[in-house]
Chains A and B, each alone.
Chain A
Amino acid sequence: MSTAIHPGSYHRPALRRWRERLSHFGVTGWLGLAVTGFWAGAAIFGPAMLSQAGDIGGGEVFAPASAAHWLGTDYLGRDMLARVVEGARYTVGVAFAATLLASGTGTLLALLAAASGRWIDSTMSRALDTLTAIPSKMFALLMVAGFGSSVQMLVLTAAVIYVPGSYRMARALAVNINALDYVTVARARGEGTGYVMLQEILPNITGPMLADFGLRFVYVVLLLASLSFLGLGIQPPEADWGSLVRENIETLANGGAAVIAPSIAIASLTIAVNLVIDNLPGRAARERGAR
């Protein structure tokens, strides 16, 4: 909590605040940040930089790694490196959009719940608790059964599943801030609910919510990859890393690069984000406070 309530911390320029945050990073944190940045870069610029992107195949099937195909080819003879880089766009992009939606909605609802009366608070909390009574994968299967699996539906599905978690986290933080004196002062001088939510509470919960955002991003990546692996996520010819594992699973018996490359991609992304979260200053402070 101590990092959340730095007096005047949000008057400092954003750049210096970030430099301060990053100065706490250890080697693992930088490593995680580098790998996460690499995949984000691959998602944004990758397809434009590869000559073989959008290749329709027809070459040798499941070719081993070579100078022409660094990661070999897939089940249709397409270049695997290009497939993985294009997959990054779906895995990272869709998960990022879904997490942004989930975290944003959860935080806004939590601010509303904390800043307004008990009645709204308890209604919202009960309603969102009901959503958590369905296991996340089951919920995703239900949504796909009902609405199909277009990219928009996948974003919406993952967002709905992770709103309650992010709401709960943000509400716990916001309720504490809401009880502090300066919020009472702000109310006393006649500020409205919206002002209290966005100007008084929000700046003081952004740090912990950023860590929560990372954690939820990992969950969303895992969920979407699992869905695609079941053949219910991103639909061919488009492919995220989960579908790439599924498409090329038959080469598993030969230990082919076509199935190992996307697997390593998923594992490296989720573990890297975990490493970054572990190195965020909020967590260290929280653990010190807990001890």
Chain B
Amino acid sequence: MNALLVKLLVQRIGLACLSLLAVSVLVFAITGVLPGDAAQEQLGQEATPESLAALRAQMGLDVPAHQRYLGWLGGLVRGDLGVSSTTQLPVAELIASRLPNSLLLAAVTALFSVPIALALGISAAVWRGSWFDRAASTGAVAVVSVPEFLVATLAVLIFAVQLKWLPALSYLSSIESLGQLLRAFAMPVLTLTCVIVAQMMRMTRAAVIDQLEAPYIEMVQLKGASPLRTVLAHALPNAVGPIANAVALSLSYLLGGVIIVETIFNYPGIAKLMVDGVTQRDIPLVQACAMLFCAGYLILVTTADLCGIVANPRLRHR
């Protein structure tokens, strides 16, 4: 580690924290300030000024917007996320009961998709232009250019309806054995894996091809190294940075995909909680979930950035 590298890393992390702060302003503005007076909306046009004032005081709307924002932000930092307006339960409790399910889903998906995507991406890059490359790339483009719910629908049609291997919905409450766990997980993980693999494969392929077309690889080939050695010992070590970047960036697509997948398969995760919150206009819940998602997204994107910086040998050895 040297001073320049540390400076770059600290800069990126600082930038991410600033972005998160800006995001919190945006989230609060969109949900809490811009839509207008929530008390008026709740009571309708005929409400008396007295009842309006009373409800505003009860909802805390009688203080100016920036004070409400600071109070909300302070609560977030302390872990006090407010009370859900539909269930009257603390938001923190609701999230705590759902978060492990979502993290488990994300972890299992990552466990499957990363090795598959890397294997596909690297072999497509090595045999670029072959029928294998063309088939894999076309498949990836097809998956990327249709919505996630279509992939999910197709998966249900094939595996649950035609082959009858798996149940179409997952109800996590009824899990008693490992077999049931696998069956409940299979469809959501399968769908998410398809989407993530397609993204990650495309980026990995591009990163490896970038290296394979560099002049030093031609030198290695002229030297007489075997194709396997050329790829594993020479190209891959140089492509680690871009590949790690691609992996982290693709995993951030999980956050979008999980919203659809949890809803379609009725999976009791945090994204389903948020979609239900949006449907019922449960603003405190939506705000907390949105901040959680944006924090996760920024962490992944920043990790992608950091991987790129750390893996750059010109910055590492100086």
Contacts and interface: CB of A to CB of B under 8 A. Distances in A.
A8 interface: no
A133 B168 contact: no
Contact of A255 (B26, B149, B157): B157
A266 B147 contact: yes
Contacts of A222: 145-147
Interface in A242-260: 242, 245, 249, 252-255, 259
A106 B131 CA distance: 39
A245 B148 CA distance: 12
A135 B292 CA distance: 12
Interface in B280-317: 281, 283, 286, 290, 293-294, 297-298, 301
Contacts of A226: 147-149, 259-260
Nearest to B162: A255
A24 interface: no
A232 B279 contact: yes
Contacts of B156: 252
Contact of B294 (A135, A147, A266, A267): A135
A89 to B, nearest CB: 19
A257 B146 CA distance: 18
Please classify how large the interface on chain A is, using the bins under 10, 10 to 19, 20 to 34, 35 or more. 35 or more
Interface stretch (B27-35, B49-57, B105-113, B184-192): B27-35
A129 to B, nearest CB: 8
Contact of B275 (A134, A232, A245, A253): A232
- Most chain A beta-carbon neighbours within 10 Å: one of B148, B149, B154, B161: B149
Interface in A70-84: none
B161 A231 contact: no
Contact of A225 (B26, B147, B255): B147
B269 interface: no
Nearest to A270: B145
B256 interface: yes
A15 interface: no
B180 interface: no
B263 A133 contact: no
A143 interface: yes
B70 interface: no
Interface in B25-48: 26-27, 30-32, 34-35
Interface string A187-209: 00000000000000000000000
B141 interface: yes
A110 to B, nearest CB: 21
B221 to A, nearest CB: 19
A141 B290 contact: yes
A263 B31 CA distance: 32
A137 interface: yes
A192 B295 CA distance: 43
Interface of A: 129-131, 133-138, 141-147, 218, 222, 225-226, 229-232, 242, 245, 249, 252-255, 259, 263, 266-267, 270-271, 274
23 contacts: A130-B22, A130-B26, A131-B26, A133-B22, A134-B294, A134-B297, A135-B297, A138-B294, A141-B274, A141-B290, A145-B277, A145-B281, A146-B30, A147-B35, A222-B146, A222-B147, A232-B279, A253-B160, A255-B157, A263-B154, A266-B150, A270-B146, A274-B141
**A-B interface, 5 closest residue pairs, ranked by CB to CB distance from nearest:** A133-B19, A130-B22, A145-B278, A137-B256, A145-B286
